[in-house]
Amino acid sequence: MGFFPLVIGYSRANQQDEGKVISSTEAVRYGLFIFALLSLQAALTLLPEGLTITGHEGDLLHMLDASLRMVDGEMPHLDFMTPIGILGFAPVAGFLALGFKIGKATLLANMLIATLLLPAIWWVGASRLRLRQALFFGVVMLVLLTAVVYGGAASTISLSMFYNRWGWAVTLLVLMVVLLPARVDIFERWLAPLLIGTGMAALAMLKMTFFAPLAPAIVLILLAQKRARLAGAALLVGGVIGALLVAWLGPEFFAAYFADLLSVTTENSGRTTAGESFLSVIASPQALSGSLVLLAALLVFRKSGHMEQGLVILILAPVFAYITYQNWGNDPKWLFLIIIYLWVNLPDAAERTLFGLPARQSILALIVVALTVVFPSFITMATSPVRAAFASTEGFMKLPIPDAVADIWLPETRVLNAAVRRKMDGMPELLPEVEPVVVNGFSFPNCRANETVVPMPLAMARQIEALDFARGRPVLTADVLNISWLFGDVGRVKGAAPWYYGDDAGIDNAAFLMVPICAIKPSLRDQMLRQVEAANYELREVYRSNLMVLYRLDQAD
């Protein structure tokens, strides 16, 4: 499905709503514009020799851990535990396998996904939108796909959670096909079900929290639109892709994927929510403006007689809320779709809504509010490739991992300095009161390492390297991140979770358990210790420092 065959198809299409669609000349201009924008992003991607990262290095190391495991032949779910689908790491792992370093590999993965989706972005804009609407849609999609930050309003450069942006981009693409009828028939009969089915299959293999709420909503909307044939065709495409994936990866892969997903839904999981509570995602001061836009759009459409558009808003509102709730930062990127949907469905000037107000002006006002709410996130993402390409490394130092994959610079203080939070005598307790875990008479204190996740794992890895009996052997870390093997001659634990989600993944394959005195997540440290004891392991202390206690893991008789 290339770009130029689609342009040829456009020239042969039957333009039904003259004046309400872009012309064939404008469609070509739109295609050239998004191609030029992608080329600019590609130039920015190739420009820097390294990246200065100013936030979320823990997520960066989590992603690097999983990607390097894949490069070494391990498979997600089968060989290590993660609720993120294989598509969340495979593009980066592919470029690492080709010899690129981690920063460049991630940027190239962004470009790969954007390039693959470019024909679909053009097709959706050319078949369903006017020129200005198409240009807005194209810019939003490419910004989502090529940003070097998850979103938000801070001027951060980050390689974290890029799979969330990919998920939003695919979601917007699929919903544009579902929600907006084709005004120009450009192979609509074949491309619409192909895009919906393929897009949903990609979401299932990327991040299930996009797929699970979205799939039933799409079927419901298509049936309400009396487009059962399209729903059936899309389900067929998705089913064929699913069958091919099962044949390729094996049913055991999907059984393990389901088990990983199930494990993070239990009350013992350390990651049942990615950020704020569900209620805060809907009704906090930061989120309330977006929620009110949805509510007001629903009322305006229903009261002005546009019942179908109101039903769409009603069905999608909980879907958007849940996906946002499950994405760290709780960024309401669904507002981009709402802006386009409101813009395309502007009522006639004569239509009235609540209290006799003009429906058209009411919708325009909602578009302005939605743009205001989402603008900080948009501008942060849009400018991030430029900031990343031209950032100075002054005051930064290279991430201390093997040179073969190291092209990341972090602020020196986040590599060299560590701090802990603990109770001060005579002062109230800041951390939650918990029952201390006692192992062999040693009571682990209720203290917490700060968010600079590099210094302590680096120091602990060097301490283990100095121990002849432990050097190179698999060591499991009782904390949220199991990353010490990235920093030295510490054995990687097969089956372990790069990010600890509360289960016992990897314990059977570990020779030692490294327990930080002050962990990044003390509750997860204590939980893992209890799990090890419950699994009938005997913990024999073999080394202790001011940072950690190292235990030999022996199966008790």
What are 240-256's pLDDT values in tens digits? 999 999 999 999 999 99
The verdict on 114 and 172 lying in the same domain is: yes
Task: Over range 400-411, report the average pLDDT.
Answer: 89
- Which structural domain, as residue segments, surrounds residue 113? 3-390
pLDDT at 9 over 80: no
pLDDT at 556: 65
The verdict on 219 and 350 lying in the same domain is: yes
SS3 391: coil
Residue 400 is assigned to a structural domain of this protein: no
Residue 405 is assigned to a structural domain of this protein: no
Q: Do the Cβ atoms of 7 and 1 come closer than 8 Å?
A: no
Contacts of 250 (CB under 8 A, 6+ apart): none
**Parallel, antiparallel or unpaired: strands 442-443 and 512-516:** unpaired
Task: Over range 44-50, report the average pLDDT.
Answer: 86
The total number of structural domains in the chain stands at 2
pLDDT at 557: 58
The least confident of 30-44, 56-70, 349-363 is 349-363
When pLDDT is cut at 50, 70 and 90, the band that residue 14 belongs to is: very low
Task: Over range 83-105, report the average pLDDT.
Answer: 96
Q: Do the Cβ atoms of 153 and 380 come closer than 8 Å?
A: yes
The verdict on 90 and 21 lying in the same domain is: yes
Q: Do the Cβ atoms of 473 and 454 come closer than 8 Å?
A: no
Residue 395 is assigned to a structural domain of this protein: no
d(CA 134, CA 413): 44
Residue 412 is assigned to a structural domain of this protein: no
Enclosing H/E stretch for 62: helix 57-71
For the stretch 5-34, what's the b/e string if a residue is b when 16 or more beta carbons lie within 10 angstroms of its beta carbon? Answer: ebbebbeebeeeeeeebbbbebbbebbebb
Greater model confidence, 355 or 105: 105
Greater model confidence, 359 or 238: 238
pLDDT at 430: 61
Greater model confidence, 144 or 7: 144
DSSP H helical ranges for 129-187: 131-146, 162-179
d(CA 500, CA 403): 26
307: exposed, middle or buried (C-beta count within 10 Å: 0-12, 13-18, 19+)?
exposed
When pLDDT is cut at 50, 70 and 90, the band that residue 95 belongs to is: very high
Task: Over range 55-80, report the average pLDDT.
Answer: 92
The verdict on 282 and 367 lying in the same domain is: yes
pLDDT at 4: 43
Q: Half-sphere exposure of residue 314, counting CA atoms within 13 Å on the CB side?
A: 14
> How do residues 435-480 score in pLDDT, each as one tens digit?
778 998 899 988 888 777 889 999 999 999 999 999 999 999 999 8
pLDDT at 18: 43
Greater model confidence, 383 or 449: 383
d(CA 446, CA 517): 9
pLDDT at 98 over 90: yes
> How do residues 193-231 score in pLDDT, each as one tens digit?
999 999 999 999 999 999 999 999 999 999 999 999 999
Task: Over range 331-355, report the average pLDDT.
Answer: 89
SS3 227: coil
Residue 413 is assigned to a structural domain of this protein: no
d(CA 478, CA 515): 5
pLDDT at 303: 86
The verdict on 329 and 187 lying in the same domain is: yes
pLDDT at 307 over 70: yes
When pLDDT is cut at 50, 70 and 90, the band that residue 5 belongs to is: very low
For the stretch 345-361, what's the b/e string if a residue is b when 16 or more beta carbons lie within 10 angstroms of its beta carbon? Answer: bebeeebebeeeebbbe
Residue 401 is assigned to a structural domain of this protein: no
pLDDT at 353: 79
Tell me how far apart the 2 most distant CA atoms of the chain are, in Å: 83
Task: Over range 420-444, report the average pLDDT.
Answer: 75
User: What percent of the chain shows pLDDT beyond 90?
Assistant: 63
The verdict on 366 and 464 lying in the same domain is: no
The verdict on 174 and 25 lying in the same domain is: yes
pLDDT at 349 over 80: no
The verdict on 138 and 266 lying in the same domain is: yes
Enclosing H/E stretch for 332: none
When pLDDT is cut at 50, 70 and 90, the band that residue 428 belongs to is: low
Mean pLDDT of the residues in the chain: 89
The verdict on 67 and 159 lying in the same domain is: yes
Q: Do the Cβ atoms of 7 and 123 come closer than 8 Å?
A: no
The verdict on 107 and 248 lying in the same domain is: yes
